[in-house]
Homo-oligomer: A and B are copies of this chain.
Amino acid sequence: MALSTTAPKAFIQQQNLVEQVADYLTQAIIQQHFLPGERLSEVQLSRDLGVSRAPVREAARLLESRGLLISKPRRGFFVRALNAVELEDVFDLRLCLERHAIQRLAECYTPEAKRALEQQVDVLCKAAAANDGTRRIEEDLQFHRLMLHYAGNERLLRAFDDLTHELRLCITLITKTHEAPETIATSHFQLLEALSSGSPDACREAIDYHIGIARDFVVKGVGETGEHADEDLFSR
């Protein structure tokens, strides 16, 4: 995964500057080194990272297409801030994609897929037990990504990956509140059971419940902690 962390200065050296800058920015945004709505200065960034502005700009465009940044012409790039409505929309789209995926997957549920998913749930549970917050989130997302992967539609997977960036954005902001490890375990086992049953309805019910839980968690978190419901990025 990402070998990011402390050093903000000049740890970029070799190749694919654009991708490296993009990774750096992504990590920095998720870890809230840049606050939502904050303006990013190209010169500042290029100075800090020891690269020129061209790769920074291209990386910023990439992040914009992923919904992490927003560009205002002649004004620069700003860190995306999600309000309550947008947050609902993200989870609604996630539901849309995963419903479709799990039903497609149920149609072609190979032993290989079954094994991979079970193993991933195992990994996830261990991360949850270890109380490692960020890793728990990543392993959780990875489980769902695997579902999408084995559903056999590359384009669907890409749409999910696009959405994932925004998901990370809102999840990480909030989840100081930890879900109970046993809740996570049972919640995912239900999905596996539904898949094994092969019933589309059971799958749909399971995924609806599962994502509903996650959404409520995030929405509740927003209500409790920080409030981004005000107008943050209306101008587009």
**Are A156 and B58 in contact, with the CB atoms below 8 A?**
no
In the complex with contacts A58-B57, A65-B62, A65-B65, A153-B16 CB distance below 8 A: no
- A54 contacts partner chain B, Cβ-Cβ < 8 Å: yes
Closest B residue to A151 by beta carbon equals B92
Minimum-distance CB pairs A-B, first 6: A65-B65, A96-B100, A89-B155, A89-B153, A93-B155, A93-B156
List, in ascending order, chain B residues with CB within 8 A of A163's CB: 155, 159
Chain B residues whose C-beta falls within 8 Å of the C-beta of A155 in the assembled complex: 86, 89-90, 92-93, 163, 166
Q: A70-107 vs B: 1/0 string, CB under 8 Å?
A: 00010000000000011001101101110110001000
Q: How far is the CA of A90 from the CA of B86 in the complex (A)?
A: 25
The A contact surface, by secondary structure, is: helix
What residue of chain B has the Cβ atom nearest to residue A66's Cβ? Answer: B65
A124 to B54, CA, bound (A): 43
A61 within 8 A of B: yes
Smallest CB–CB gap between A149 and chain B, Å?
A: 13
Q: How many residues on A have C-beta within 8 angstroms of the other chain's C-beta atoms?
A: 30
Beyond known contacts A16-B73, A89-B156, A159-B159: 16 more, CB 8 A cutoff: A15-B73, A54-B54, A54-B57, A57-B58, A65-B65, A89-B153, A89-B154, A89-B155, A92-B104, A93-B153, A93-B156, A96-B96, A96-B97, A96-B100, A96-B156, A155-B166
* Chain B residue with Cβ nearest A19: B73
CA distance A100 to B156 in the complex (A): 14
A39 to B236, CA, bound (A): 33
For A97, the chain B residues whose CB sits under 8 A away are 96
Q: Give Cα A155 to B66, complex, Å.
A: 12
Interface status of A208 (Cβ within 8 A of chain B): no
What sequence of 0s and 1s flags, for each residue 149-170 of chain A, a beta carbon within 8 Å of any chain B beta carbon? Answer: 0000111100100110010000
Judge whether B154 and A86 touch: CB under 8 Å. yes
* Bound Cα distance A190, B161 (Å): 33
A61 touches which of B15, B58, B96 (Cβ 8 Å): B58
Q: Which residues of B contact A92 (CB under 8 A)?
A: 100, 104, 153, 155-156
